[in-house]
């Protein structure tokens, strides 16, 4: 059997971090459609028999009926492919949801919070999804495989080995207990970073978010394609998002003013299909006006600029001056030695204090 596995597409998410810069939010929503169409075309061309979608397929709060209609029409173009969807915490199966109210293509199976097994010629497909925005226990670890002679697949959305309070709200699952269940492949969703080759013979897989959602999701994004023959699993990751989020550091220690900084940013070589965050580092000789930079830089694929520079002060020299400024700096240096606050916090206090004392 051959399958494609995706998760965390988040159709119609507002892309708030990108929407603040021109039409990038709208562009990324169009990218979602185009990327999903590519996946459907791959399934069609390669005669893929199973399509697993492991939750957070869309954003419940923002999803439009027109988007669902677009998706469903694509599903209809692969009638020989069986499509299995497990709702997640962003797209739970609740009253009035698109999963509950929309009439999906005949080849689509949407799981609810009740564990179900769907029998096919090649495999038994087990699935369970969210029926709320939180799910502390979907009883995945208690599933009993009924026919171990067949290929057995589990599809769900959740957190492996969750330890913090937040992740414990999203179907926490023990990885060791999952392994003991005996599934041939476990198609997971929820974690946006791909996890498919971190150990030998790995069959518990996160494909990651299909399309990068922001600068906390650097690297390639795409889908998993796999096959199981005679209980032997083979999988591969196929990148499908042509736009990659990247971060670049720019040391401005030798830069003298905003005009020179603007020129330096405009002269950075950037790949056309990538979206960039520029991180300013080093010691600055002037006040950096981020909002003004956004307005005057000409590099259109710079989405975010982060200022991590420090003021160009000789603190020890200034601390030796018997002035109000010197006393203030001496206090800050003492706090730095005690390490009661982070360096970032103290630098911020220092910057604000010196700017006041300089007036």
Please state the rounded mean pLDDT for residues 217-240: 95
pLDDT of residue 22: 66
pLDDT of residue 336: 74
Angle at 127 between CA 188 and CA 167, to 5 degrees: 45
Rounded CA gap, 312 and 327, in Å? 18
Q: Scanning the structure block, which residue is given the tokens 């697949």? A: 153
| Torsion from C-alpha of 300, 295, 354, 251, nearest 10 degrees | 20
Q: Tell me the percentage of the chain whose pLDDT exceeds 70.
A: 94
Q: Which helix (H) or strand (E) holds 350?
A: helix 343-357
Which range has the worst mean pLDDT, 143-147, 180-184, 286-290, 314-318?
Answer: 314-318
- Specify the higher pLDDT residue, 311 or 260: 260
pLDDT of residue 128: 98
- Specify the higher pLDDT residue, 65 or 272: 65
- Specify the higher pLDDT residue, 318 or 126: 126
Please state the rounded mean pLDDT for residues 271-287: 91
| Beta strands in 230-323, from DSSP E residues, in sequence order | 232-239, 244-251, 274-281, 283-284, 302-307, 310-311
pLDDT of residue 337: 78
pLDDT over 70 (residue 343) = no
Confidence of residue 16 (pLDDT cuts 50, 70, 90): confident
pLDDT over 70 (residue 174) = yes
pLDDT over 70 (residue 20) = no
Beta bridge partners of 222: 239
Which range has the worst mean pLDDT, 28-37, 43-52, 349-358?
Answer: 349-358
Q: What is the mean pLDDT of the chain?
A: 91
Let me know if domain 2-239 sits in CATH 3.60.21.10. yes
Confidence of residue 359 (pLDDT cuts 50, 70, 90): low
Rounded CA gap, 241 and 220, in Å? 7
For 262-300, b/e burial (b = at least 16 CB within 10 A) is: bebbeeeebeeeebbbbbbebebebeeeeeebeeebeee
């Amino acid at each position: 059997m051959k399958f494609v596995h995706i998760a965390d597409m988040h159709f119609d998410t507002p892309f708030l971090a990108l929407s603040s810069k021109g039409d990038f939010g709208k562009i990324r929503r169009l990218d979602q459609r185009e990327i999903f169409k590519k996946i459907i075309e791959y399934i069609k061309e390669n005669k893929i028999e199973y399509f697993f979608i492991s939750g957070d397929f869309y954003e419940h709060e923002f999803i439009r009926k027109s988007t669902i209609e677009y998706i469903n029409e694509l599903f209809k173009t692969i009638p020989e492919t069986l499509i299995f969807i497990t709702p997640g915490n962003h797209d739970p199966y609740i009253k009035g949801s698109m999963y509950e109210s929309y009439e999906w293509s005949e080849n689509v199976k949407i799981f609810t919070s009740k564990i179900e097994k769907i029998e096919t010629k090649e495999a038994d497909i087990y699935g369970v999804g969210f029926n709320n925005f939180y799910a502390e226990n979907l009883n995945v670890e208690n599933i009993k495989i009924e026919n171990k002679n067949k290929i057995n697949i589990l599809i769900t959305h959740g957190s492996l080995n969750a330890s913090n309070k937040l992740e414990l709200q999203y179907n926490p699952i023990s990885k060791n207990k999952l392994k003991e269940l005996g599934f041939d492949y476990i198609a997971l969703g929820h974690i946006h970073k791909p996890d498919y080759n971190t150990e030998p013979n790995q069959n518990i897989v996160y494909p990651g978010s299909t399309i990068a959602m922001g600068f906390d999701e650097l690297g390639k994004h795409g889908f998993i394609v796999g096959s199981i023959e005679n209980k032997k699993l083979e999988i591969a990751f196929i990148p499908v998002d042509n736009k990659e989020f990247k971060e670049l550091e720019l040391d401005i220690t030798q830069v003298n003013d905003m005009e020179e900084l603007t020129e330096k940013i405009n002269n950075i070589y950037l790949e056309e299909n990538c979206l960039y965050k520029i991180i300013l580092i080093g010691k600055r000789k002037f006040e950096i006006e981020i909002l003004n930079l956004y307005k005057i830089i000409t590099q259109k694929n710079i989405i975010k600029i982060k200022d991590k520079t420090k003021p160009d002060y000789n603190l020890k020299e200034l601390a030796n001056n018997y002035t109000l400024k010197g006393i203030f700096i001496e206090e800050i240096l003492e706090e730095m030695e005690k390490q009661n606050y982070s360096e970032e916090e103290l630098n911020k206090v220092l910057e604000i204090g010196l700017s006041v004392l300089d007036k």
